[in-house]
Structure 1
Amino acid sequence: MNEQNQTIGETRLDRGKRMLAAIDGQAGQNVIDALDDIAPDFARYVFEFPFGDIYARPGLGLREREIATVAALTALGNAVPQLKVHIEAGLNVGVSQEEIVETIMQMSVYAGFPAALNGLFAAKEVFAARSGANA
């Protein structure tokens, strides 16, 4: 079984939980846990749709999906917490720090310098936290 494909009898929810754990690890689970007391149904939707349906599709690998997600969240310019989670996820699935920085810098052309600056500062925080955790 390809990691992204559905196993026989696996529900969208189960597939989403498996994909989120593989991509985001504890950072993704922290987001889900934070929704528990305010919107547990929304947490289920996060498992089922983005991770159970979209991330599990064939056609793009997890690396490419995270590069696209980092680009999109950078371009939005107002999703720094989610951007940090997906920068971490990119690192988890094999995107290098250099590739993340280049992806964010590329967004300066399409989303503007403020969005790219915010993205670079978010990346800097993630890289520092990760290197501190690995020390």
Structure 2
Amino acid sequence: MNNERYTRGLAKLKEIDGKAGENVVESLKDIAPDFARLLIEFPFGDIYSRPGLDLKSRELAVVAALTAMGNASPQLKVHICGARNVGCSQQEIVEVIMQMAVYAGFPAALNGLFAAKEIFSQESQNE
């Protein structure tokens, strides 16, 4: 796992998600090491590293997409943390999640808001 895409992706993953992202990758190594490698190389090495959008915009887009899916709470929580790590405010995250009620329905938005509430509560406990 020592190629340019992997190295670039791992650096981007650490920048966005810190330890939480590394934990996800580590948890896959015993069952699907190739998937763990792909998870670093493609999304973070290829997509997140592209010019054109800053990390804040990318993370808000991911929060919106995962909220709209309605069934990705663990990943949504990781990306809410990532959004906070790259400078998104709580208000920006809440507004993006609320916007998803229009396109994905109230249940998806409610699930997203509860995920955000949990992350924000953890943040305040760690202060």
Per the shorter chain, which TM-score range?
A: over 0.9
Match of 1:17 among 10, 13, 16: 10
Q: Which residue number corresponds to residue 34 of structure 1? A: 27
Shift of 1:112: 0.1
Q: Which residue number corresponds to residue 61 of structure 1? A: 54
Aligned length: 125
Q: Which residue number corresponds to residue 90 of structure 1? A: 83
Report the identity percentage.
Answer: 67
Match of 2:71 among 71, 78, 83: 78
TM-score with structure 2 setting the length: 0.97
What CA deviation, in whole Å up to 9, does each residue of 1:14-41 have, x standing for no partner? 0000000000001101101110111111
Instruction: Write the distance in 2 (CA, Å) between the matches of 1:24 and 1:94.
Output: 12
Q: Which residue number corresponds to residue 5 of structure 1? A: none
Instruction: Write the distance in 1 (CA, Å) between the matches of 2:4 and 2:23.
Output: 22
Q: Any unmatched runs of 5+ in structure 2?
A: none
Shift of 1:133: 1.4
Q: Secondary structure at the match of 1:66?
A: helix
C-alpha RMSD of matched pairs (Å):
0.8
Question: Which aligned segments of 4 or more residues in structure 1 are displaced greater than 4 angstroms?
Answer: none
Shift of 1:131: 1.2
User: Is it true that 1:100 corresponds to 2:93 in the alignment?
Assistant: yes
Q: Any unmatched runs of 5+ in structure 1?
A: 1-9
TM-score with structure 1 setting the length: 0.91
